[in-house]
Amino acid sequence: MVPDLIGVNFPEYYNFGCAGACHTYILNQVVQANEIYNFNAETDYITVGTTGFGRFSRVGVDDSDPTDHKWLVNGDIFPEFARHPDNARLWAREFDSYQWSVYRSLSALKTIKLILDLKGVEHKIYSSIYNKHLINLEFVPQNNNTIDMIKQFNSLVETDESVDDFLVDYNSTKGLLGIKDIPWVDGHPLVCNSVDYVKKYFPEYNTYVTNLIAQDQIVAMNSFSTRQEYVLHFEQTFLRKYRTDYNQISKIKHHPYYVKA
């Protein structure tokens, strides 16, 4: 991922990204990370990857432990897909709206930007998810207020393209990479797409170590027959070589309240 490829250039780094999470969740992680690590203007560099407007995350319990409240991430609930949990679909249909989801996103990103500016920490807000279609209002025609909020949101993002934009064509990209056609590789951007994104939008971090690590991960993708094998390799190599702590980060990412280190 982009933050990993940037982070390996630092003596220590943390990636709080969570698949399928919304902007409210991202704001929560920024607040918690500052609470735990106390952002330092002299030493820290922070990246924030924006996500889809239609995503919705909430605190609740899952089937594994009904006594443990944690963040539940449902991905995009606009438009409503059958694969979403019943309660997320109910929320989207009965209580939420597309305009409100845009409002939440803008509010969260403005707050994130305010926190980082007040702390004086060097940072960059980039686009992770392809959101350009939302200006074209393909899902539901939006009123002028919503369109204005989308434009305000986009004005806070410092990149013209998302990481998704670098995945022009999934199959041809795999061919160019030499990544074999294995079932567990899905349609999300691959390591090489993240490297290309770093080269264009974070050129100062397009270093020897970044490219070495990327190549290591590409080779690993070709070597394993299941996603779980690769995930294990990813966590172990970054923990051993690249100075991050996945167990601690995982605890913080999934906990809905401040977690003290």
Q: Which tokens is 226 given? A: 């299941």
Residue 259, domain member (yes or no): no
- Phi and psi at 137, nearest 5°, equal 55, 50
Whether residue 89 is contained in a domain is answered as yes
| Burial grade of 220 (CB within 10 A; 0-12, 13-18, 19 or more) | middle
Tell whether 260 is covered by a domain. Answer: no
Return the residue matching tokens 């995930």. Answer: 231
Looking at residue 124, its pLDDT comes to 97
Name the residue range of residue 123's domain. Answer: 2-254
End-to-end Cα distance, the chain: 24
Q: What is the pLDDT of residues 12-37, one digit of tens each?
A: 888 888 888 899 999 999 998 898 88
State the pLDDT at residue 171: 52
The per-residue pLDDT for 261 is 47
Q: What is the DSSP letter of 146?
A: H
Q: What is the pLDDT of residues 171-203, one digit of tens each?
A: 555 555 555 566 666 667 888 889 999 999 999
pLDDT tens, 195-249? 999 999 999 999 999 999 888 888 888 788 888 888 888 877 776 666 666 677 7
For residue 147, the tally of other CB atoms under 10 A from its CB is: 16
Say if strands 70-76 and 122-127 run parallel, antiparallel, or are unpaired: unpaired
> Both tokens of residue 118?
């007040």
Reference 52, options 24, 32, 16; nearest CA is 24
- pLDDT confidence of residue 122: 96
pLDDT tens-place string over residues 78-110: 655 555 666 666 777 777 777 888 899 999 999
Q: What is the dihedral of CA 132, 135, 139, 141, to 10 degrees?
A: 180
- The pLDDT assigned to 45 comes to 96
Reading the block at residue 218, the tokens are: 């590409």
On whether residue 102 sits in a domain, the answer given is yes
The string over 89-107, giving b where at least 16 C-beta atoms fall within 10 Å of a residue's C-beta and e elsewhere, is: bebbeeebebbebbbbbbe
pLDDT at 100: 84
pLDDT at residue number 61 = 76
- pLDDT value for 91: 73
Q: How far apart are CA 37 and CA 12, in angstroms?
A: 12
Residues 6+ apart with CB under 8 A from 154: 131, 135
pLDDT at res. 130: 74
68 falls within a domain = yes
Domain count, the chain: 1
Q: What is the mean pLDDT of residues 135-157?
A: 78
Residue 140 per-residue DSSP state: S
DSSP-assigned letters across all residues of 15-50: ----TT--HHHHHHHHHHHHHHH---TTT-EEEEEE
Q: Tell me if 86 is assigned to some domain.
A: yes
Structure confidence at residue 60 (pLDDT): 77
Among 52-56, 186-190, 202-206, 251-255, top mean pLDDT goes to 202-206
| Contact predicate 21/71, CB 8 Å | yes
In a domain, 261, yes or no: no
Neighbours of 39 (CB within 10 A): 19
The reply to whether 105 falls in a domain is yes
